[in-house]
Amino acid sequence: MNDPDRSAAGSGMDLASAPVATQLAAFERIVLGNPVVAAVVERMPQLELPGCYLAAGALFQTVWNYLDNRDPGEGINDYDINYFDGRDLSWDAEDQAIRRACELFDDLGARVEVRNEARVHLWYENKFGVACPPYEGTEAAISSFPNTSSCFGIRPGAEGLVVFAPFGFTDLFSFRTRPNPVLAPRDVYDTKTARWLTEWPRLTVLPWPQVEPSDPRL
């Protein structure tokens, strides 16, 4: 990928130390430079799902591809749409949303996955072995993703793109991923980062924090 506008946004290291407003503007420009991201964001309102964001890998991996001068969609497995609807926690309701999304995005040639974050606590422990307290909204769910570089969400707003980035952009533009050990167990982080290193070998993976053994005298 040869991006003629790269100099306008600056290199990754320049952006890592840039003011937040500059980082935000570069983030928006880069992620919307992925045509699948742009199409999903444009069409998402047609799903009429509350608290709806395009989140996680489709965003930060688009930025990593930009920093590595690759095609915007290279190495991206799926495009995650997260929403929050506590009115109906049944699988049938979520499945209806999934089916609508399959029809809406069928022509994009990409896998779009839809999840109701209001019902994650119903199945999370069975899948990952740890309990997940009920989320209060999509933003709370995004903030609990297993690494801080996953914690991004975007959606269209009345005055342009709405960006949710609870941990900011510095790690992202430094080509660095950091564990977020608030919910997911370590093996989830290790599995994800192992795959990412095969796609983006110069990624810096920060280690999972070591838990010090408790003092038996206390």
**pLDDT tens track for 133-146:** 999 999 999 999 99
pLDDT at 49: 97
Q: How far apart are CA 2 and CA 197, in angstroms?
A: 22
Token representation of residue 121: 């606590």
Q: What is the reported pTM? A: 0.90
Residue 5 has pLDDT above 80, yes or no: no
Top-confidence residue, 74 or 10:
74
Residue 203 has pLDDT above 90, yes or no: yes
Q: Which of 21-25, 38-42, 96-100, 158-162 shows the lowest per-residue confidence on average (mean pLDDT)?
A: 158-162
CA dihedral 37, 38, 43, 47 (to 10 degrees): 30
How is the chain split into domains, by residue range? 11-199
Hey, which residues does 147 pair with through a beta bridge?
179
Mean pLDDT of 36-60: 97
pLDDT at 149: 86
Closest CA to 208 of 194, 185, 200: 185
Token representation of residue 31: 């992620």
